[in-house]
Amino acid sequence: LAAHPNGTRHLPQFLNWTYATGRSGPVISPTYRSQQPTPQAAEDEHWQTVERLLHDESIRVDTRVCGLFVLLYGQRPSHISRMTRDLVALTREHVSIRFAEDPLVLPPGVDTLIRRHLHAVGSDSERAGNPWLFPGRNPARPVDPGGLGMRLKRIGVAAQASRTTAIMQLAAELPAAVLAGFLGVHPQTAVVWNKLAASSWNSYPALRRSQSSPLNN
């Protein structure tokens, strides 16, 4: 495993077979995760989809918000589906959200949509009492990640390619430690993204708020 880490992609299936056939005990192995990103979406199409989700009132607000979380912040539908409302902080001036450890101030347009979504959830007596940011058909449970992925695909958000495009663009602007703190990317993976994006940190202060920010008070 140390010499050939890529070989771990096949090992779990093999160990499942050895256990099922009585050849071994319940042994587990490391999970293979490629550090190479999936292909990116075309940049012009990516930003056209962002604009459409910001303004197209024919699409459900919650679907638009989820799509923007993928397109702008590289979040997986599986992670979005598990988010809770306490990860969102509202003030008169800003809306911030925590995808990972550090809060991130949402830009104009996205903040308006999340306020609308939270108002709709809070006004629904069946959904108001649960903690989920995106409740499912059963309000006591979050939205199904597979179903969410299909909804996003129908509105033109290919989760893998869109996520790659978003993180690559952010990696060109943010140091690895900050990228990890905002998005929940593993620090070592964030370093790889930085290198792939040939990163420039010039825009870093634009996303990181100072200690005097209302978000940190």
User: What is the structure's pLDDT at 4?
Assistant: 66
How far separated are the first and last CA of the chain, in Å rounded?
A: 47
Residues 128-159: b if buried by 16+ CB within 10 A, e if exposed: eebebbbbbeebeebbbbeebbebbeebbbbb
Q: Does residue 207 surpass a pLDDT of 70?
A: no
The pTM (predicted TM-score) of the whole model is 0.72
pLDDT category, 163, cuts 50, 70, 90? confident
Sign of CA dihedral 51, 84, 78, 204: positive
pLDDT category, 172, cuts 50, 70, 90? confident
Q: Does residue 201 surpass a pLDDT of 50?
A: no
pLDDT category, 205, cuts 50, 70, 90? very low
Does residue 202 or residue 57 have the better pLDDT? 57
**Cα(78)–Cα(148) distance, rounded to whole angstroms?**
8
